[in-house]
Amino acid sequence: MTTTLITGASSGIGAELARQLGAAGDDLALCARRTDRLEVLRAEILAAHPDRRVAIRALDVTDDDAVFGVVREFVEELGGLDRVVINAGLGKGAPIGVGRYDANRQTAMTNFVGALAQAEAAMEVFRAAGRGHLVMISSMSALRGMPKTMTTYAATKAGVAALAEGIRSEMLGDPDLDITVTTIYPGYIRSEMNEKVAQQTRFMVDTETGVRGIVHAIEKGVDSARVPSWPWKPLGTAMRHLPLGVVRRLT
């Protein structure tokens, strides 16, 4: 039995990850700022799978002390954690230099500094246990710099990917630790974060389909995955090498 912690689990990709991993047999530790939604999600999962354990906690990932405290509480309640999915994030932002530093800073603090705190807390647990699986949700936007409202968001997701790769590199060199690090690069998956633009965006897939691909990659324990694989696996390769002006038109 695998025990999986998911941050940002109250909606969108996080909530659907909880549903699908719960259906696959995982016990769950779910946290987000909105506990009312977590309560509903827990009831839904337990109704479908009465033998699961589903623990919930309120968590704002920009509160460092709370991040470490909640992770430790889950460890105590559930007897350990086998996997941590760092999913919590914000999609807000503004073009650089238009007077909305507040929005960009909030995105940066949530998506990168918050992810760093979560990774620190998770890795403390895994190092103590000698094993574990750290999953970092990045974004296809991390592959290149993005314009306008996406600039800061893409930069934070690039940071998340680099953080994950650095941890993975260290783990590859430590024979005493059995810790897997997986970086997920989602393409356009419909969620509450992007519901206002979902119908206008090319390559958008529904939440259930997109998360099914994420779960497949997580369960395989791959180093990284672009999800859904079509069109994002070939498109991601193109994004890395095409001129920036062409990339802008593609995305």
d(CA 206, CA 191): 8
Residue 227 predicted with pLDDT over 50: yes
Mean pLDDT of 84-88: 98
Reported as a pLDDT band with limits 50, 70 and 90, residue 242 is: confident
174, exposed or middle or buried, with CB in 10 Å at 0-12, 13-18, 19+? exposed
Residue 214 predicted with pLDDT over 50: yes
CB distance 136 to 161 below 8 Å: yes
> Which two structure tokens, joined as six digits, stand for 143?
């592959």
Residue 197 predicted with pLDDT over 50: no
Residue for token pair 């699986």: 133
Write down the catalytic residue from 101, 153, 185, 188.
153
d(CA 41, CA 14): 11
pLDDT of residue 200: 55
Give the least confident one: 94-98, 193-197, 225-229: 193-197
Kindly tell me the number of DSSP H helices and DSSP E strands found in the chain: 9, 7
117-156 per-residue burial string, b: 16 or more CB within 10 A, e: under 16: bbbebbbebbeeeeebbbbbbbbbbbbbebeebbbbbbbb
If you compute the radius of gyration of the chain from its CA atoms, what whole number of angstroms results? 17
d(CA 9, CA 23): 15
Alpha helices in the chain (DSSP H): 12-24, 35-48, 64-78, 101-108, 114-129, 151-172, 207-220, 229-241, 244-250
Share of the chain above pLDDT 90, in %: 81
* Mean pLDDT of the chain, nearest integer: 93
Reported as a pLDDT band with limits 50, 70 and 90, residue 236 is: confident
65, exposed or middle or buried, with CB in 10 Å at 0-12, 13-18, 19+? exposed
Q: Does domain 3-250 have CATH number 3.40.50.720?
A: yes
Residue 198 predicted with pLDDT over 90: no
Phi, psi of 140 (to 5 degrees): -60, -25
Concerning whether 153 is annotated as a catalytic residue, the answer is yes
Share of the chain above pLDDT 70, in %: 94
pLDDT of residue 193: 53
Residue 132 predicted with pLDDT over 80: yes
